[in-house]
Amino acid sequence: MIVTDTNVIAYLLLPGVHTPLAEAVFDKDSHWIAPFLWQSEFRNILALYLRQKEITFDQARAVMTKAERMLRRQTHLVNSDDVLNLVVSSACSAYDCEFVALAKRFNIPLVTADKKLLREFPETAVSLEQFSRI
């Protein structure tokens, strides 16, 4: 079981240069979890793709449905105190700290491409490349 941030979910479900790495992570561990926040962030990514005409509305709906199915029962609430403690001890946003808090709660890695998370939380955050080689 691993925590994946929203970008990793997007890399897996929206074909691009990072898709092979996301697939390698999924092949290694397909039990992904995330805080509830991932849904809003993912919708925002889909909105960007829609506005840039990279996908159609029907494609956006299909990808969102696939993501929701993939993470059904894998979405968790995070404790606000845990998030705020991480915020004050780092330069990361509260949004990013939700993923870290979840990973710490379950004592599992957070797989991310976010350089700030990798720098601020090296004991928890691991890059897609690192995880796929472990």
DSSP assignments along 85-101, one per residue:
HHHHTSS--HHHHHHHH
Q: pLDDT band at residue 40, thresholds of 50, 70 and 90? A: very high
**How sure is the predictor about 22, in pLDDT bands with cuts at 50, 70 and 90?**
very high
Give the tokens for residue 8: 């990793």
Give tens-digit pLDDT for 4-21. Answer: 999 999 999 999 999 999
Nearest to 13 by CA among 72, 73, 75, 55: 55
pTM: 0.94
- Domain total for the chain? 1
**CATH number of the domain encompassing residue 49:** 3.40.50.1010
Query: Which amino acid appears at position 38 of this protein?
Result: W
Residue 134 above 90 pLDDT? no
- Residue-wise pLDDT tens digits, 104-122: 999 999 999 999 999 999 9
Question: Coil, strand, or helix at residue 75?
Answer: strand
Per cent of the chain over pLDDT 70 is 99
* Dist. CA 120–CA 50, nearest whole Å: 32
Q: Read off the pLDDT of residues 45-75 as tens digits, 9 standing for 90 and up.
A: 999 999 999 999 999 999 999 999 999 999 9
What is the domain range of residue 49?
2-133
